[in-house]
Every structure is written in structure tokens, then in C-alpha cells.
Amino acid sequence: MRALDEFRRIAAEHDRCFRLDGGGSQRWSGRRSIMGWLADDDLSLSYDATRREVVEHPSGRVVGDDVFAVLQDLQDGDPETHWIGYFGYAARPDLPARSMPGVPDAVWMRTRTTAVTVEPERVAAPLPGRAVTVPVPPWYAEAFAEVQEQLRAGNSYEVNLTYRVAEHSPADPVDVYGRLRASDPAPYAGVLRHGDTWLLSASPERFATIDRHRRVETRPIKGTTPRGASAAEDEDRRHQLASDPRFRAENLMITDLLRNDLSMVCEPGSVVVPHLMEVESYASVHQLVTTVAGRLRPEVGTVDALRALFPAGSMTGAPKLRTMQVVDAVEQEPRGVYAGAFGWISGDGRADLGVVIRSTFRSGDGPWVLGTGGGITVHSRVNEEWAETLWKAARVRAALES
């Protein structure tokens, strides 16, 4: 709580600030919390995909038309320089994705002012949420049916069908983040503020890490089930997730997609799958996770590598480009920050970013935007998929409503 109070003070004094928090929910994520802020004359970038403009702050100058290229050019080799921010789903100008009006498609803040603390282990606190209901709304059923047509036509093997909802909340963003973190500790918990844009996250999914040896690792999640009400039911659901052919097929398709993405930037023969379809347990869900890793080729820069992997294959489906075209045609609203990636990039080439899921974002005086969804295959059932979108979003909604 003391760390949260300290961040509340930082957010009140600095309109460009952040907190990234491992959450202590998994052994690999650690319990470090990194907080920081920008001084008035420190550099940050924002990107508008509709206008194709990367804007430098605080000067307001347009400094490019591709945020990945601008960010790569600004890597200075200094391990004390850290960029904190996000790529929204439409951040790559060469891929089919719509920009959400009023919300930056990318924000990156350069900071040398950070504080690292080690948080105590967290046990998720109960947080009431809305009950999961069906019937399925007509608009979702129509989108699901269109996805099924695309799958049966052979245009995709798996489509990650998502939607956005608006949630009004009078609560302070830091309080919402505190409730979300307490109820659902996650490896990529965090809060970012850039002016009047906020991103609050309890994401469990790694987009990519790059270490000092230029080893890149991604951990796609595909296959999710809610926790059971009793120990016996919980173990049954864990076993079902690990053994169900449908979940395993979904995960394998995305694993192959990530192997292909990594092969474009990694040394030949270095791409491996050290962990295949392992079950990770969180406060509200069990998830099926695979690890795909490789070693970057010498000529590939860190941001260039992140661009090649973006957006996360688990949030598109396979094959990536054609499936993104299907998503663009079927989904009613732009994804905005949702399904993008956020975290940090060091000046010396290291990086650690999560996928923007189990998260909410807001710009200006508008409502909080919450994204949710899931992977659809020809074997999917519409009522089950709709219910899954509700329980995935339940804890974020509850944090906003409390």
C-alpha cells in the first residue's frame, strides 16, 4: 500500500508517469515494481495512425510517420535510458487495423528517473463482478457467424474475435489500478499516464522479452478456463485445459505462427519451443501457455524485432495478415490500445513487454474502454465463446465499479 500511495503522489505531480509491476503471481514474473516519471522537458512520443504522424513532446513537432522506425532511431545504447509505453493495435502502418478516435495509437516516454521496489507476495482478494449470462446478443452472434464463414472458406484457421465496451467510473485511476492489482495479480500489471491518456493493466501474457545476449522470448496464451469453485472442480478444469484437443489445437496454431514470426528476425536454427502447452494458474483463470524463443540476428535492432512480432499472434489468429483483414471486416469498433503491447525498452537493447489484455484505457473525459474476446475455430460454440468474454472481463469491470 505504501508503494501505491507513493505512485498516487507521483501521478498527482507528473502528467507523464508509470508503474510496472511483476505482481508476484508467477515465479518467472518476479515481485519488482518500477515507478517513474518525466520532467517537463523530458522526451516522449505519441502516434496517430490515421494521420500517420509521430509527435514529439513537449515540442509538438512531427518527427516521423512510423513510430517503430522513430523509436529504433532513438536507441542510444545507454543502459540507463529507458523507454516506457505502449504500441496500440493499429501501431504498424503496414497492417490492416483501424485507429480509435481520440486515443493515441502509441505512446513512449523516455525516462532516467525510476525507482525499483520489491513488493510482498500477493494473495488475490475477492472482488465481486457481474454474473456471467447468456442469451448471446444478436450483434455478437452475427460476428461469430461471419467468422465461421471465413474459417470454412479457408481464409483463416483461427480468428481472435473481440469487442469493446465503455464503462463510466468516477473513481481515481490509481484507485482503480489498486483494486485491479489486489484482485488479479499478474506478471504485466501496470499503470501508464501520458497527459490525459491512461492505461491500467492486469495482463498475464508476455508479448516479448529481449535480454542482453539478444535472446528473444515470447509466451503466447491460447486456451483459458475459469477457476473452479472447489479444489476438486479446480483441478478438473486444470486437467481439461491441458488435455482438451480443441484447446491444444488452438495453442498449436499460434505456436506455429510465433515460430514463423521469430524466424524472420532470428538466426537460422535458433528458434526453439522450450515449453509447450503448460498450464499457468491465476486468481480467476487457468491458461495454456507456450514459450517460443530464438536468438536475434546481429543486424536486427530491438525495436525492429518487436515490430516483426507485432501484434501478438494470440490476438490475431493464423495466418496473421489474412486473419487481421478478417478481424478488420468483422469487428464493429477499433481495438485502440487493446491487443497491443506495453512495457519497457532499454537503450542498450533489452526489452520486456506484455500483451494488452485484462486491461482498460481512457483518453480525455471519455469513458474507460474495456476489450475482451477469444479465439474462434470451426469447433467453437457461440454461447460458450460469449460467456468466456464475460468472465475474462469480470474483474476489470468490478475494479471500475467498486
The full length of the chain comes to: 402
Report the distance separating Cα 248 and Cα 24, nearest Å.
27
For residue 137, list its beta bridge partners: none
Residues 114/50, Cβ–Cβ less than 8 Å: no
Is 205 considered catalytic here? yes
How far does Cα 41 stand from its chain's mean position? 29
Residues 372/356, Cβ–Cβ less than 8 Å: no
Q: Which one from 119, 158, 222, 280 is the annotated catalytic residue?
A: 222
Backbone torsions φ then ψ of 190, nearest 5 degrees: 175, 165
Report the distance separating Cα 52 and Cα 75, nearest Å.
21
C-alpha cell belonging to residue 347: 537503450
C-alpha cell belonging to residue 56: 514529439
Sign of the C-alpha dihedral computed for residues 254, 267, 81 and 120 taken in this order: positive
Report the distance separating Cα 191 and Cα 8, nearest Å.
11
Rounded to a whole number, what is the distance in angstroms from the first to the last CA of the chain? 18
Cβ atoms within 10 Å of 240's Cβ, excluding its own: 12
DSSP 8-class letter at 66:
-
For β-strands 106-111 and 16-21, DSSP reports them as: unpaired
Q: Is 396 helix (H, G, I), strand (E, B) or coil?
A: helix
Q: Which one from 205, 280, 385, 388 is the annotated catalytic residue?
A: 205
Residues 351/291, Cβ–Cβ less than 8 Å: no
Active site residues: 205, 222
